[in-house]
Amino acid sequence: MTPKTDLKNFTLPALEQFLKGHGKERFRALQVFKWIYQQDAHGFDEMTNISKALRAELAETAIISNLESEAIEEGSDGTRKYLFNLGDGHAVESVLIPIEGRNTLCISSQVGCAMACEFCLTGTFKLTRNLTTAEIVNQIMAVKRDLVRNPPALLADVADGGDDGEDSDDEGPESPAAIRNIVLMGMGEPLHNLDNVIPAIQIMIDGNGLQLSNRRVTVSTCGLVPEMSRLGREIPNVNLAVSLNATTDELRNRIMPVNRSYPLKELLKACKEFPLPGRRKVTFEYVMLGGINDTLEDAKRLLKLISDIPNKVNLIPFNEHEGCEFKAPTRAAIDAFHKYLIDRHVTVITRDSRGGDISAACGQLKGKLENKEIVETQSN
Ligand code: SAH
């Protein structure tokens, strides 16, 4: 028996192709696609505007896969970490970061990671496998369901929350159950799984799919240069974040092996050439490692490296984890670095370590439950 096709691996055009192969009209694909993404249909029986005969036919060849979080842990700052059991003995995590009524969801793209950055916990697990397109979009759909059941508490005035100022198209208050931003910053290197990540993003930004604005989807990479240009070609409007983390090839070669293939010069050239529309900027993530890359000399070199690229900087104080020798930077080092850049008119955000108490912070995801204090589990 041939295995059934998971329709959640398909973009709308791919679904049209699939149904065409079964002799079906094009508009059927749109109907099914909307049932899947707008109604969250789990089976063909729910698709009441489609004939029973066609539903039965679809059920014979296709499935609509689903993920339900196996556990949800909530941190003291409202951050929620979702654990997803993939059904083959592996698991991944997603992290919801509610800030003043605006939800950002950080999703995973791989089980483990092949990039082996020295400071990252996920990297120590090596790559087990890529997530499918379905598994990537299913993380979002599962969290959406949780948000409807259990919206985060509103901590501040919704109308003027969270923005860093440059994003002026304020749509006003938003439902606490809505996901505003998607960042591919969870487990894995998204550009190492582009064949599945690109269709997943297309589903996210499809007006008939998950209906997210492409300006609210951010792909983060450790610096796979050829894949950066492919991403830019295939989805030109997505936001790009680059984990720079070091300002000399010498240090970057050491802490991020990817740099030995694509050194800083090539990486920055690819950033410069990345097709960002209008006033958008490349986000440079910079993990501050105490005593390693946190001096004003580093800040100065950083500024020089990125100054001819429209940029903003995310400083991420290193989150310590067991078995890793790096140390968090001191508060004074963070403040001085931050101030150096701000004084030179760089947009800088120092990421507070959200979700640290539940190991949901950057570089702490490993696809296992941290402790047994699960605030909620679901059965279906
Ligand atoms: N592989 C992609 C997506 C992961 S994003 C990338 O590298 O961009 C995860 C972010 O967390 C990256 O910017 C990474 O540099 C950072 N990071 C990894 N380990 C960390 C740690 N222990 N503390 C703080 N940040 C960390």
CATH number for the domain that contains residue 283: 3.20.20.70
Dihedral pair phi/psi, residue 341, rounded to 5°: -75, -45
Residue 319 CA, ligand 1 centroid: distance in Å: 10
What pLDDT sits at residue 88? Answer: 93
3-state SS class at 7: helix
| In-domain check, residue 337 | yes
Last residue of some domain: 31, 63, 95?
63
Residues 106, 217 share a domain? yes
Residue 321 CA, ligand 1 centroid: distance in Å: 13
Dihedral pair phi/psi, residue 13, rounded to 5°: -60, -35
Name residue 241's beta-bridge partners: 220, 283
CATH number for the domain that contains residue 26: 1.10.150.530
Residue 186 CA, ligand 1 centroid: distance in Å: 8
Tell me how far apart the terminal alpha carbons of the chain are, to the nearest angstrom: 27
Residues 56, 80 share a domain? no
Residue 306 CA, ligand 1 centroid: distance in Å: 19
Residues 315, 176 share a domain? yes
pLDDT tens per residue across all 380 residues of the chain: 789 999 999 999 999 999 999 899 999 999 999 999 999 999 999 999 999 999 999 999 999 999 999 999 999 888 999 999 999 999 999 999 998 779 999 999 999 999 999 999 988 889 999 999 999 999 999 999 999 999 887 654 444 333 444 444 455 556 778 999 999 999 999 999 999 999 999 999 999 999 999 899 999 999 999 999 999 999 988 999 999 999 999 999 999 999 999 999 999 999 999 998 888 999 999 999 999 999 999 999 999 999 999 999 999 999 998 889 999 999 999 999 999 999 999 999 998 777 778 777 777 777 765 543 333 333 33
Residues 19, 109 share a domain? no
What pLDDT sits at residue 173? Answer: 57
What pLDDT sits at residue 175? Answer: 77
d(CA 209, CA 198): 14
CA distances from 207 to 12, 37, 38, 140, 219 (A): 10, 10, 10, 16, 19
Dihedral pair phi/psi, residue 76, rounded to 5°: -65, -20
Residue of 73, 74, 93, 135 marked catalytic: 93
- What residues have CB less than 8 Å from 60, skipping those under 6 apart? 4
In the 8-state DSSP scheme, what is residue 247?
A: S
Other CB atoms within a 10 A radius of the CB of residue 310 amount to 15
184, 189, 245, 287: which to mutate for ligand 1, most atoms within 8 A of CB?
Answer: 287
Tokens, residue 267: 């990486």
Torsion 234-236-237-241 (CA) sign: positive
Its pTM surpasses 0.75: yes
Last residue of some domain: 63, 93, 113?
63
- The residue segments making up the domain with residue 50 are 5-63
Domain count, the chain: 2
Residues 25, 51 share a domain? yes
Ligand 1, atom 15, lies closest to the CA of: 243
What pLDDT sits at residue 374? Answer: 37
| In-domain check, residue 378 | no
362 is catalytic: yes
Residues 92, 57 share a domain? no
Last residue of some domain: 13, 30, 63?
63
d(CA 189, CA 96): 19
Residues 144, 44 share a domain? no
What pLDDT sits at residue 160? Answer: 39
Name which of 203, 206, 201 is nearest 220 in CA terms: 201
Tokens, residue 290: 């105490």
In the 8-state DSSP scheme, what is residue 123?
A: G
Q: Measured in whole angstroms, how far is the alpha carbon of residue 125 from the centre of its chain?
A: 19
Ligand 1, atom 26, lies closest to the CA of: 363
What pLDDT sits at residue 126? Answer: 92
> Are residues 309 and 282 in contact, defined by beta-carbon separation less than 8 angstroms?
yes
> Are residues 32 and 47 in contact, defined by beta-carbon separation less than 8 angstroms?
yes
Residues 75, 54 share a domain? no
CA distances from 364 to 189, 295, 375 (A): 14, 24, 19
Which secondary-structure segment (H or E) carries 110? Answer: strand 110-112
In the 8-state DSSP scheme, what is residue 289?
A: P
> Are residues 220 and 190 in contact, defined by beta-carbon separation less than 8 angstroms?
yes
Residues 273, 140 share a domain? yes
46 is catalytic: no
User: At CA 101, angle to CA 99 and CA 103, rounded to 5?
Assistant: 60
Residues 351, 268 share a domain? yes
Ligand 1, atom 4, lies closest to the CA of: 185
